[in-house]
Structure 1
Amino acid sequence: MPDDLHIAAHGHVRVLEIRRPPYNYFDLNLIRAIADGLDAADADPECRAVVLAAEGKAFCAGADFAAGQEATPEARKTRTAALYHEAERLFSSRKPIVAAIQGAAIGGGLGLALAADFRIACPEARFSANFTRLGFHPGFGLTVTLPDLIGDNRAALMFLTSRRITGEEALAIGLVNQLVSQAEIRSAALALAAEIAECAPLALISTRATLRAGLAGRVARATEHELQEQSWLRETEDFREGVKSSAERRPGNFLGR
């Protein structure tokens, strides 16, 4: 495992902690490492539940757009396809996952949070599917997972406004399961995972497989479409302006080209 993913056992609970503070941007290597960590948890009979956590200000602020910007369009598409292939593996894991969200979960970081079964957050947490503000199309399977979780209309509102919502708002619409103080995030996530881990392990795997039946396939089909849309949008002037305006913390001056 790379140094930016720390793995530790707490009884029957495995903790995967992203260590790329402060914003924990992901790339292909990090998503592959998380998928490998979940595979290892699946293969370990002593592990019955997983906590996905992060060190730093944000849970995950999304993809590292700075990586590979000098590459050709085809190279960028190939790299993103490889990343989405690894992301699809997250939805094929067999053990329940609790995400501990201590800060922002933005863009693909929101997608990562929604790969988990449950989310523990705090009032300081922020959630945004900010793709359209970047001149981009949603990815990471969010066109499946976000409507599944909060309903089509609420998901559309998040996608088409790119607005950020608070921890309290996320709890009210069912985006998170529990809200605690920021200092209690890790302990609350561990407590929920430990409660799950008290149950019979074979029954846990069987029941979760029934509840998530077909999800990995739906995400795979969604990411294929998401990739196609992202690939042409990535080459537009609006996308370049979206990334620039976001970095400069100002509204984008979009021209529709």
Structure 2
Amino acid sequence: MTSATDLQLSHDGHVARITLTRPPQNFVDTATIEQLVNMLAALDEDDTCRAVVLQSGVDVFCAGADFSAAPGGGAPGDPAVFYGHAMKLFRTRKPIIAAVAGAAVGAGLGLALVADFRVSCAEARFSANFNRLGIHPGFGMSVTLPRVVGEQRAAELFFTGRRITGKEALEIGLIDHLVPQADVSAQARELAREIALSAPLAVETTRATLRRGLAERIAEVNQRELEVQHSQFRSEDFREGVAAMSARRAPVFQRR
């Protein structure tokens, strides 16, 4: 259950800052995503807001979706509802900068890919670990990840599920700025302030042109993701993947 304090909103001039705080791992559930959608929608209607920083209030940016919402390591509530809200994140108008000072894993990486820019550090870790868990990628990442890093690198990250460092993330274009860990939030705010100096209508219309058709394409692909995940969430391989991850051992998949 998401509480009123899981997401905090603050303002600094024309820059809004949203801080996700769900210790210890900052897992997101349907209620968290819905609350974030509502915050961003309100900021879209706030003419004083010109850019948004999305950051974590704990050491981890976001470790993924909250699987505790369903018994036995099942899906995070109803996947259709979860992703239905998540798709709305790609329809916002204001530029978003993600300050990633810790791990961004699974749906957490998907959340970071909602942003226009990502500021991170060498200590951060990034992983599209869906296949390692026994499921198809979700959160529209079949579009958003290759859009940023290219199809070949995205395929490798999906198929292996391996974690990469902030340094490698910069090399492949997954993040835009690499700074000392203590400076991640400040650098993200500085980038947001720099964007806020430009004419807001010009920024928003340019962003809309650059992203034209993107939200629709992501939503269309997410339907495929959801259909495949729907069956795989109920598979023995998914249960094994979750169990292996919890036990920190290699999974033994059976193709069923």
Fold similarity call, TM over 0.5: yes
Runs (4+) off by over 4 Å: none
The one-letter amino acid of 2:246's match is A
Residue 177 of structure 1 is matched in structure 2 by: 176
Alpha carbons of structure 1 residues 78 and 68: separation in structure 2 relative to 1, 3 Å = closer
Residue 127 of structure 1 is matched in structure 2 by: 126
SS of the equivalent of 1:62 reads: coil
Give per-residue Cα distances to partners, 1:76-129, cap 9 Å, x unaligned.
598111111111111000000000001000001000000000000000100000
Residue 15 of structure 1 is matched in structure 2 by: 17
Give per-residue Cα distances to partners, 1:238-257, cap 9 Å, x unaligned.
10010010011111011111
1:193 aligns with 2:195: no
Cα distance in 2 between the residues matched to 1:121 and 1:190: 12
1:97 aligns with 2:99: no
Cα distance in 2 between the residues matched to 1:222 and 1:156: 16
Residue 251 of structure 1 is matched in structure 2 by: 250
Aligned residue runs from structure 1 range 34-183, under 5 A = 34-69=36-71, 79-183=78-182
Shift of 1:8: 0.2
Which runs of 5 or more residues in structure 2 are unaligned? none
SS of the equivalent of 2:69 reads: coil
1:5 aligns with 2:7: yes
Aligned length: 254
The one-letter amino acid of 2:210's match is L
**RMSD of aligned residue pairs (Cα, Å):** 1.4
Question: Is contact 1:88–1:220 with CA below 8 Å preserved after alignment?
Answer: yes
Cα distance in 1 between the residues matched to 2:129 and 2:59: 18
Residue 222 of structure 2 is matched in structure 1 by: 223
Shift of 1:229: 0.5
Give per-residue Cα distances to partners, 1:219-252, cap 9 Å, x unaligned.
1111111011101111111100100100111110
Question: Is contact 2:30–2:76 with CA below 8 Å preserved after alignment?
Answer: no
Cα distance in 1 between the residues matched to 2:172 and 2:99: 18
The one-letter amino acid of 1:112's match is L
Question: Is contact 1:77–1:231 with CA below 8 Å preserved after alignment?
Answer: no
TM-score, length of structure 2 as denominator length: 0.96
Question: Is contact 1:8–1:16 with CA below 8 Å preserved after alignment?
Answer: yes
Question: Is contact 2:16–2:52 with CA below 8 Å preserved after alignment?
Answer: yes
Residue 206 of structure 1 is matched in structure 2 by: 205
Question: Is contact 1:22–1:55 with CA below 8 Å preserved after alignment?
Answer: no
Cα distance in 1 between the residues matched to 2:141 and 2:148: 10
Alpha carbons of structure 1 residues 226 and 77: separation in structure 2 relative to 1, 3 Å = farther
Shift of 1:69: 2.4
Question: Is contact 1:2–1:33 with CA below 8 Å preserved after alignment?
Answer: no
Shift of 1:70: 5.9
The one-letter amino acid of 2:192's match is A
Cα distance in 2 between the residues matched to 1:77 and 1:36: 20
